[in-house]
Amino acid sequence: MSSDMPVNTNDNQNPEEPTVLFSELGLDARVLAALADLGYEKPSPIQAATIPMLLEGRDVVGLAQTGTGKTAAFALPALSRMAELADTNGPARTPQILVLAPTRELALQVAEAFTSYAKYLPDFTVLPVYGGSPYGPQLNGLRRGAQVVVGTPGRVIDHINKGSLDLSNLQYVVLDEADEMLRMGFAEEVDKILEATPEEKQVALFSATMPRTIRRIASEYLRDPQEVAVKSKQSTGTNITQRYLQVMGAHKLDAMTRILESEEFDGVITFVRTKMATEDLADKLKARGFTAAAINGDIPQQQRERTVENLRSGKIDILVATDVAARGLDVERISHVINFDIPHDTESYVHRIGRTGRAGRSGDAILFMTPREKYLLRAIEKATRQPVTQMQLPSLDSVNNRRIQKFTDRIDQTISGQDLTTFREIVEKFAADHEDLDQLEIAAALALMAQGGRPLLMTEPVIPPSKKARMDRDRADRGERGPRARKTAAEGNAMYRLAIGRRNRVQPGSIVGALANEGGFNSSEIGGIEIRSDHTLVELPAELSKDQWRALSKTRIGGELISMELDSGRKPRRDDDGDRGGYRGGRGGDRGGFRGGRGGGFNDRRGGGEKRFGGRGGKDRFSDSGRSGGRRDY
Q: What is the CATH number of the domain that holds 314?
A: 3.40.50.300
Decide if 628 contacts 551 (C-beta within 8 A).
no
Does residue 380 sit in the same domain as residue 414? no
Does residue 372 have a pLDDT over 70? yes
- pLDDT, average across residues 198-224: 89
CATH of the domain at 508: 3.30.70
- Tell me, yes or no, whether 62 and 198 share the same domain: yes
Query: Could you tell me if residue 627 is inside a domain?
Result: no
pLDDT of residue 570: 56
Q: Which amino acid is at 228?
A: V
Rounded to whole angstroms, the Cα distance separating 488 from 426 reads 69
Residue 174: its pLDDT value, please?
A: 96
Q: What is the pLDDT of residue 89?
A: 84
The percent of residues above 70 in pLDDT, for the chain, comes to 78
**Looking at the domain assignment, is residue 303 inside a domain?**
yes
Q: Are 318 and 434 members of one domain?
A: no
What pLDDT digit, counting tens, does each position of 250-304 carry?
889 989 998 998 888 899 999 998 888 999 999 999 988 899 999 987 888 788 8
CA 612/CA 182 separation, integer angstroms:
9
Q: Which pLDDT does position 444 carry in this prediction?
A: 83
pLDDT at 415: 85
- Shared domain for 365 and 408, answered yes or no, is no
Mean pLDDT of the 143-152 span: 92
- Strand-pairing partners, residue 537, are 497, 530
Query: Are residues 13 and 144 both part of a single domain?
Result: yes
pLDDT one-digit tens code per residue, 524-549: 678 788 888 889 999 888 888 888 88
pLDDT mean over 578-605? 38
Q: Are residues 176 and 83 in the same domain?
A: yes
Mean per-residue pLDDT for 336-347? Answer: 88
Tell me, what DSSP letter sits at residue 118? Answer: T
Which has the minimum average pLDDT: 42-56, 108-122, 346-360? 346-360
Inside any domain, residue 517? yes
What average pLDDT does the segment 559-582 reach?
61
216 in the same domain as 72: yes
Which structural domain, as residue segments, surrounds residue 525? Answer: 490-613
User: Taking Cα atoms as reference points, which of 608, 606, 490 lies closest to residue 538?
Assistant: 490
Q: How many domains, in total, are found in the chain?
A: 4
Q: Do 178 and 302 fall within a single domain? A: no
- What's the pLDDT band for 63 if we cut at 50, 70, 90? confident
516 vs 35: which has the higher pLDDT: 35
With 70 as the cut, is the pLDDT of residue 62 above it?
yes
Whether residues 159 and 147 fall in one domain:
yes
pLDDT of amino acid 386: 85
SS3 413: helix
Strands 60-63 and 389-390: unpaired
Is the pLDDT reported for residue 571 higher than 60? Answer: no
pTM above 0.95, yes or no: no
Residues 456-472 have a mean pLDDT of 49
3-state secondary structure 27-64: CCHHHHHHHHHHCCCCCCHHHHHHHHHHHCCCCEEEEC
pLDDT tens, 481-495? Answer: 444 344 566 667 888
Give domain status of residue 445, yes or no.
yes
pLDDT of residue 409: 76
Name the residue with higher pLDDT: 17 or 37. 37
> What is the structure's pLDDT at 65?
67
Residue 243 · residue 393 · CB < 8 Å: no
> How confident is the model at residue 623, as a pLDDT?
40
Judgement on whether residues 313 and 445 belong to the same structural domain of the protein: no
What pLDDT digit, counting tens, does each position of 432-459 carry?
888 888 888 888 888 888 776 667 776 6
Does the pLDDT at position 631 exceed 70?
Answer: no
Which of 346, 338, 382, 340 minimizes the C-alpha distance to 363? 338
Q: What is the mean pLDDT of residues 163-169?
A: 92
DSSP letters for 59-115 = -EEEE--TTSSHHHHHHHHHHHHHHHHHHHH---SS--EEEE-SSHHHHHHHHHHHH
Q: How many CB atoms lie within 10 A of CB 303?
A: 11
Question: Over the stretch 295-312, which tens digit does the pLDDT of each residue have?
Answer: 987 888 788 889 988 998
